[in-house]
Amino acid sequence: MGKLVTYEVREGVAVLTIDNPPVNALGAALRRKLMRRIARAEGDEAVRATVIRAAGRTFPVGADVREFGQPPKAPLLPELCDRIEAAQKPVVVAIHGTALGGGLEIALAGHYRIADSGARLGLPEVLLGILPGAGGTQRTPRLTGADPALEMMLSGRPVSAQRALEIGLIDRIAEGELTEEAIAWARELGEAVEAGATPRRSRDQRAGLADPDAYLRAIAERRKALQGSRLPAPPRIVDCVEAALLVPFETGLAMERAAFEECLASDEAAALRHAFFAERLVAKVPELARAEPREVARLGVVGAGLMGAGIATVCLAAGLEVTLVERDEAALAAGLERIEKLHARAVEKGRARPEQVAERMARLRPVTDMEALGEVDLAIEAVFEDEQAKRAVFAGLDRVLRPGAILATNTSYLDIDALAAATSRPEDVIGLHFFSPAHVMKLVEVVVGARSDEAVTATAFALARRLGKVPVRAGVCDGFIGNRILTAYRQVADFMLEDGASPYEIDAAMRDYGFALGPYQVADMAGLDIAWARRKRLAASRDPAERYVRIADLLCEAGRFGQKTGAGYYRYEGGSRHGAPDPEVLALIDAERAERGIRPRPFSPEEIQRRCLEAMINEGARILGEGIALRPADIDVVMLLGYGFPRWRGGPMFEADRIGLLPLHAELARRAREEGDFWRPAPLLEELLADGRRLRDLNG
């Protein structure tokens, strides 16, 4: 722990330095100390003005999220902000790094703000299911007007120092050393106050309220756009910002406080907090504590299809040298075109500048000869999902890579141990399962083989983090974490399909649960043929006693491969990407039910959701029990970041604790008795029940 807040007087200015590494979160002890330091500055005769700044890498990034859900400790952040604002001597806030949430609210409570040119300022509370609760909804719009304030609070995205200056959130950008400029300015302001001026308080500002019509228009637009919002915080943010115009400051603050507490106590906020910490927990794996990552500066990508091109693009953006290998010139040219397109789109969207793209492309070396990989530190194979093809690439890599270089595969199902065994260096082999599109999706499953060296695992984690991804450790099994749960999800959906639900009812129920798309919409998008080929490959090893639904096979036999053929579970007219329900599909399903002697029964949306969730949870518990995933939180992160599980529900394992393991187990056991082995409760659930523990207790 740092010193929390230090006090130093420089040329008549009290410099209060917040020091609470790593991110200067505003925990109770810090708040107490800052409160005392402000009082001391006020009473210190040697002081005529105050500067609040922070040590370390950033200005405070907000309230300490770990305190949420616990009894509140005085002084509360709003009280601290009010105390700062009430100071009689002027308070200048010097901002560097990221001033977020409560951190920015402290800054807004100060009388004047100066920031480093690289600083970023934001109100990301909405991403945690809450709203700014220390005056942010009242002070921000008084300075900026409704629209910029709402944009910040509803998107949660920070703005640059330049933008903050433009919208009136800060007063100055430092030209030289931030603290020195802040002190010099504070001294001037102190003199002015001594000469009779009053400090400028945000609560008294009217610049942002000057055009009430525009203000109310912005409110109305946002309110309209939020209709049907599933989260409690966004509509309340709009209400509070509206109040900033219409009611006195104190009344607005009271309204904000009530809304904040209500949102903080909501299930959605608890789930979003879980997601926040889970995403940070997954980075903690035993190998990283025990082994040093190897250096990766030069990287090879084999295969320049959609996946390979996406991976190459993110590696270039992260500053790596990339050698891209394809089997012939035509395939290589197609791959290059994909990378260029991705870059062009990044420029169009303002995510990269043209000169940055040129610099990145200069680090790309496209080749058709694998020998060119002799110098790379790590090579990722990203050829199509076929065991023979992947084995052939691995044999080639084994031949050309230098000793100590890492062989990574982007397979989504194949046995990494078998691939490793086919090389002379299984300890250097690892799975790096990227998700499509690789330049967008945050998740990477790091699949650790039985013989993977710990330094290789540590390297994979370090590399994924460097690429801006969230790596999750997975063990070897068919489908690793995510695709195994997806298989269970699809299976249970197929059972319901055969038993009486339509694909459209199932999709609608899962959208209503919070997924952007239902399982059959996703299947149509991905293409039904790939899974069909896989099922055919696995047919010989399938347990004949296992329930097998043939509907997907029948669709494929009818040439319905999904969106790309204009028909799958849905029909896509004239190249449309929005499918329409298709009576032919319903007829095909009906015929199949008749053939199997199944009398269809209705399924309510709630039952569909419950069955899908239970199947995912049970498979997740099996994966945990087998040691494929380290912790329940790791499974949640995979499902949230890779499979569209609604973030505000926290993930299947988080949901399991919410349902309660006892009722969950009872329901699974009943289904197993009535419907068969698919539903047999995972042994881990029984162990936890016997010990009176919950899944979350396994998160450590």
> Which active-site residues does the annotation give?
105, 125
Closest distance to ligand 3H9 from the beta carbon of 280 (Å): 4
Q: How far is Cα of residue 660 from the mean position of the Cα atoms in its chain?
A: 26
| Interface with ligand 3H9 in residues 8-27 (CB under 6 A) | 22-23, 25
Backbone φ, ψ for residue 409 (5° rounding): -120, 145
- Cα–Cα distance for residue pair 654/217, rounded to 1 Å: 40
Q: Residues 69, 72, 73, CA angle at the centre, nearest 5°?
A: 140
Closest distance to ligand 3H9 from the beta carbon of 109 (Å): 12
Q: Would you say 63 or 522 has its CB closer to ligand 3H9?
A: 63
Q: Would you say 81 or 322 has its CB closer to ligand 3H9?
A: 81
Q: Would you say 27 or 620 has its CB closer to ligand 3H9?
A: 27
- Cα–Cα distance for residue pair 402/691, rounded to 1 Å: 50
Cβ contact 434:468 at 8 Å: no
Residue with tokens 């698919």: 678
Which residue spans within 55-129 are E strands per DSSP? 91-95, 98-100, 112-115, 120-122
549 near ligand 3H9 (CB under 6 A): no
Per the rule left: phi > 0, alpha: psi between -120 and 50, beta: everything else, 527 is: left
Window of 94-102, 467-475, 555-563, 591-599 that interacts with ligand 3H9 by CB under 6 A: 94-102
| Interface with ligand 3H9 in residues 257-286 (CB under 6 A) | 280
Closest distance to ligand 3H9 from the beta carbon of 396 (Å): 37
- Cα–Cα distance for residue pair 446/460, rounded to 1 Å: 7
Q: Would you say 125 or 505 has its CB closer to ligand 3H9?
A: 125
Closest distance to ligand 3H9 from the beta carbon of 26 (Å): 7
- β-partners of residue 394 are none
- Cα–Cα distance for residue pair 352/638, rounded to 1 Å: 28
Q: Would you say 107 or 189 has its CB closer to ligand 3H9?
A: 107
Closest distance to ligand 3H9 from the beta carbon of 378 (Å): 23
Residue with tokens 């890579």: 401
Q: How many CA atoms lie within 13 A of 321 on its CB side?
A: 10
Binding mask 332-371 for ligand 3H9 (x = CB under 6 A): ----------------------------------------
Alpha helices for 158-305 (secondary structure H): 161-167, 178-194, 212-225, 233-246, 249-264, 267-281, 286-290
Q: Would you say 25 or 30 has its CB closer to ligand 3H9?
A: 25
β-pairing verdict for 13-19 and 4-10: antiparallel
- Cα–Cα distance for residue pair 78/87, rounded to 1 Å: 14
Q: Would you say 283 or 332 has its CB closer to ligand 3H9?
A: 283
Q: Would you say 23 or 509 has its CB closer to ligand 3H9?
A: 23
Closest distance to ligand 3H9 from the beta carbon of 437 (Å): 22
Residue 579 DSSP class: -
> For the purposes of burial, counting CB atoms within 10 Å of the CB of 282, is it exposed (0-12), middle (13-18) or buried (19 or more)?
buried
> For the purposes of burial, counting CB atoms within 10 Å of the CB of 571, is it exposed (0-12), middle (13-18) or buried (19 or more)?
middle
Q: Would you say 134 or 219 has its CB closer to ligand 3H9?
A: 134
Record the tokens describing residue 274, joined without a space: 């879980």
By rule CB under 6 A, what count of residues binds ligand 3H9? 23
Closest distance to ligand 3H9 from the beta carbon of 401 (Å): 32
> Residue 85's CB: how many other CB atoms inside 10 A?
20
Binding mask 508-547 for ligand 3H9 (x = CB under 6 A): ----------------------------------------
Closest distance to ligand 3H9 from the beta carbon of 153 (Å): 10
Q: Residues 80, 81, 86, CA angle at the centre, nearest 5°?
A: 100
* Out of 102, 110, 310, 471, the residue judged to bind ligand 3H9 by CB under 6 A: 102
Q: Would you say 26 or 612 has its CB closer to ligand 3H9?
A: 26
| Interface with ligand 3H9 in residues 25-84 (CB under 6 A) | 25, 61-66, 77
The answer to whether the Cα torsion of 276, 277, 280, 281 is positive or negative is negative
Binding mask 108-147 for ligand 3H9 (x = CB under 6 A): ----------------xx--x---xxx-x-----------
Closest distance to ligand 3H9 from the beta carbon of 22 (Å): 5
Q: Would you say 249 or 548 has its CB closer to ligand 3H9?
A: 249
- Cα–Cα distance for residue pair 390/409, rounded to 1 Å: 8
- Cα–Cα distance for residue pair 89/200, rounded to 1 Å: 10
Closest distance to ligand 3H9 from the beta carbon of 632 (Å): 17
Closest distance to ligand 3H9 from the beta carbon of 91 (Å): 19
Q: Would you say 21 or 248 has its CB closer to ligand 3H9?
A: 21
Residue 68 DSSP class: T
Q: Which of 667, 666, 650 is nearest to 658 (CA)?
A: 650
Cβ contact 14:8 at 8 Å: yes
Per the rule left: phi > 0, alpha: psi between -120 and 50, beta: everything else, 468 is: left
Window of 93-101, 382-390, 497-505, 621-629 that interacts with ligand 3H9 by CB under 6 A: 93-101
> Residue 640's CB: how many other CB atoms inside 10 A?
26
Residue with tokens 């990494």: 416
Cβ contact 35:87 at 8 Å: no
Closest distance to ligand 3H9 from the beta carbon of 64 (Å): 4
- Cα–Cα distance for residue pair 368/220, rounded to 1 Å: 57
Q: How far is Cα of residue 423 from the mean position of the Cα atoms in its chain?
A: 35
> For the purposes of burial, counting CB atoms within 10 Å of the CB of 224, is it exposed (0-12), middle (13-18) or buried (19 or more)?
exposed
- β-partners of residue 379 are 300, 407
Q: Give contact residues for ligand 3H9 (rule: CB under 6 A).
A: 22-23, 25, 61-66, 77, 98, 100-102, 105, 124-125, 128, 132-134, 136, 280
